[in-house]
Amino acid sequence: MIGILDIHKSDEQGEPIFLFFVAHPPKCATNKFAREIQKHEHIGMDTLGNKSTHTLPSEIISTQPSLWERWGHLPIYCMTRHPYERFESQMGFVPVIMSMFGPTKFFDVDHGEGLFNSQWKHMTHNGILLDNIKQIKLEDVTGTVFEIEGLEIDMRDKFWTQEDAYDRVDITGFPQYKNNHSKEFVQKAYPDDFENLGYHK
């Protein structure tokens, strides 16, 4: 999870002053979303807990109760993606992670462990939707310019796509995931993402 800061007020007051938060389910274009937020000169970012941007809100609530007591009322924006398309991207990214970090680090929270979490987990605590979650469907904003919290977000260009990763990382020798019969598996693996996020099967 990412904390979005007002850096001017933070400097003036000598402590982090948060404006809102961004949840980060992998393979939902959140890196692009965050880069657009950070283009604004008064904005700073804090990886909550200094662990991973993929840390779940429930973990922040459990491990940083004082932070959550003060700031947990702020909006949490979460970019989501159709589970079928996301799964294809998740599987396609496995060779990149394995090549960059090796098998011993594959299950780190910032690599393989977080890669296959449901999107629903990034929006809930103890299985219950957080009141301040603001879902943004990637399908609705791709190729557009929109606004959140007074900040312009330009999603007309892509960033760090699978194709970009394949161009930059040597994945020679790694098998490529090709499966046109995975829909039933995805439905069973991510039922909450279909039932609760408004995606059709």
Read off the pLDDT of residues 173-199 as tens digits, 9 standing for 90 and up: 666 666 666 888 999 999 999 999 999
Q: Structure pTM?
A: 0.88
Question: pLDDT category, 169, cuts 50, 70, 90?
Answer: confident
What does the buried/exposed string (b/e) look like for 105-139 if buried means 16 or more CB atoms within 10 Å of the residue's CB? eeebbbbbebbebbbbbbbbbeeeebeebbbbbbe
Question: pLDDT category, 150, cuts 50, 70, 90?
Answer: very high
Q: Kindly list the distances between the CA atom of residue 94 and the CA atoms of 24, 105, 113, 189, in Å, as whole numbers in the listed order.
A: 18, 12, 11, 17
Return the percentage of the chain with pLDDT > 90, whole number: 66
pLDDT of residue 159: 66
Q: How far apart are CA 114 and CA 55, in angstroms?
A: 8
Could you tell me the residue ranges of all domains in the chain? 2-195
Q: How far apart are CA 139 and CA 85, in angstroms?
A: 10
pLDDT of residue 190: 95
Question: pLDDT category, 46, cuts 50, 70, 90?
Answer: very high
Q: Which tokens go with 108?
A: 């780190």
Q: How far apart are CA 91 and CA 116, in angstroms?
A: 9
Average pLDDT over residues 151-179: 73
Of 52-66, 140-154, 157-171, give the lowest mean pLDDT range. Answer: 157-171
Of 82-86, 88-92, 126-130, give the lowest mean pLDDT range. Answer: 88-92
